[in-house]
Structure 1
């Protein structure tokens, strides 16, 4: 079975293999070029989740890596070695030594645009507690998709870089009250809620308001914490910005991911 990304040339589509503290991976395609952004699942699980979305790993043209944390890179090396997928990453991410041998390795320079076949990628430096983290804006067939997770705070640089997107995958990691009252040790609570950790629901709403909503066809709440957030809380924070219209909002779940979304 082939998913919409394999059979819808002329449209920018994206899907999630799963999103959360146990693993993250996002597919982006224009129908001809297929990118996987991060792979935080083990090899067999990644293959299974790709198949669920209608793709075989050998159909991937590139694997883009945002940073070296395990929930984003667990399956990068195994997938690249087994199926010969080219990997794009920053030198800082590579120097973490968490990916093993990569047969086809390409350097990413933050703020330096590059292309993989028909898709143009802008890597954007973000505040997060990793060696050289980036997030991505991906443009193809006249549409622009922002992938913006693992963000400690919505810096002015991020606001400028991600303005004008047609689709946005946006971190809604935690509810501050749930984080404060939850099971994490104090040091981890400070890390998650700090300026180099993860976005709270309210911060995501603030950022979304600054980015503007006129062009946004799809807004996907992603990287929700299993212990410190709930989908209804993330949606509750964003819905008021849309005058109560939830039709543009989706949630990328940890287990089920998110089915293919199409930008017009």
Structure 2
């Protein structure tokens, strides 16, 4: 009994120190991703109102006062809707590109820290690489976060899998990857023509087949978890994304996680 309890205690201690990540929700109605090394907790984007953000953090066992910072990928509303209120209420620093800051869409924040794409910075125990991506915003980035010799890629908004993005996200141990739309559903769906062109264009969002292509180029040998994120409720279905990506998983479909709009996904360990 003592041996089993000791092993359990060791397992809990290792879990607390591991790089891990979770989602408050993912989709056109709001996006927010938590990344933690057990001591430092950062929130990537905050597309939910303050009360909703507090509630969703609580579901994951975290209070906003435990956050060290908020990182922003770009200025679209589904990524920044709650940033200003959250930062003001809890005195959180906000890290973002100069272009995102100059968009003027965040409002007042207690402290903003400008980041330079492709220049690593650190927040306590987390090393963070901001990566420029093709998306229709002022200066959009996505992030790779490293801790304890493990690396997580967060890649949720880009129009196409450009060569520099593929190179930047090689070597990840887990990857949150946009699977936004199915081209046929987009073409036949309710969006007006201009919005269809934007979503399906090279500066919009990834289609399922483009996510498949990016994964093949990045390589899957090291990837423990692949998260399908930013799935459109109008123009995609989770099973369509799964159908395209599953053949890459060598029969181990447990490696694939779906990020839902209403509840995101629970903590995932990067072992």
Shorter-chain TM band: over 0.9
Write 1 or 2 for the structure with the bigger share of helix. 2
Q: In structure 1, how many angstroms separate the alpha carbons of the residues matched to 2:176 and 2:96?
A: 20
Residue 102 of structure 1 deviates from its aligned partner by 1.1
Task: Give the ranges of 4+ consecutive aligned residues of structure 1 lying more than 4 Å apart after TM superposition.
Answer: 4-7
2:15–2:269 Cα contact (<8 Å) kept: no
Residue 7 of structure 1 deviates from its aligned partner by 8.6
Counterpart check, 1:196 vs 2:200: no
Flag structure 1 segments of 5+ consecutive residues without an equivalent: none
Question: TM-score when scaled to structure 2?
Answer: 0.94
2:91–2:110 Cα contact (<8 Å) kept: yes
Q: Equivalent residues in 2 for 1:23-38 (5 A)?
A: 23-38=30-45
Q: Equivalent residues in 2 for 1:240-259 (5 A)?
A: 240-259=247-266
2:95–2:114 Cα contact (<8 Å) kept: yes
2:60 alignment partner in structure 1: 53
Q: In structure 2, how many angstroms separate the alpha carbons of the residues matched to 1:131 and 1:78?
A: 22
Which of the numbers 92, 103, 107 marks the counterpart of 1:96?
Answer: 103
Counterpart check, 1:134 vs 2:141: yes
2:176 alignment partner in structure 1: 169
Residue 256 of structure 1 deviates from its aligned partner by 1.2
Q: In structure 2, how many angstroms separate the alpha carbons of the residues matched to 1:7 and 1:215?
A: 20
SS in 2 for 1:210: helix
Counterpart check, 1:9 vs 2:16: yes
Residue 8 of structure 1 deviates from its aligned partner by 3.4
Counterpart check, 1:146 vs 2:137: no
Residue 96 of structure 1 deviates from its aligned partner by 1.0
Which protein has the larger Cα radius of gyration, Structure 1 or Structure 2? 2
Which of the numbers 188, 203, 213 marks the counterpart of 1:181?
Answer: 188
Q: In structure 2, how many angstroms separate the alpha carbons of the residues matched to 1:240 and 1:28?
A: 28
Residue 221 of structure 1 deviates from its aligned partner by 0.2
2:122–2:128 Cα contact (<8 Å) kept: yes
2:246 alignment partner in structure 1: 239
1:41 alignment partner in structure 2: 48
Q: In structure 1, how many angstroms separate the alpha carbons of the residues matched to 2:18 and 2:65?
A: 21
Counterpart check, 1:21 vs 2:21: no
Cα RMSD of the aligned pairs, angstroms, is: 1.4
SS in 1 for 2:217: helix
The size of the alignment, in residue pairs, is 261
1:5–1:13 Cα contact (<8 Å) kept: no
1:76 alignment partner in structure 2: 83
Change in CA separation of 1:137 and 1:204 when aligned onto 2, cut-off 3 Å: same
Which of the numbers 107, 111, 114 marks the counterpart of 1:107?
Answer: 114
Change in CA separation of 1:6 and 1:224 when aligned onto 2, cut-off 3 Å: farther
Residue 38 of structure 1 deviates from its aligned partner by 0.1
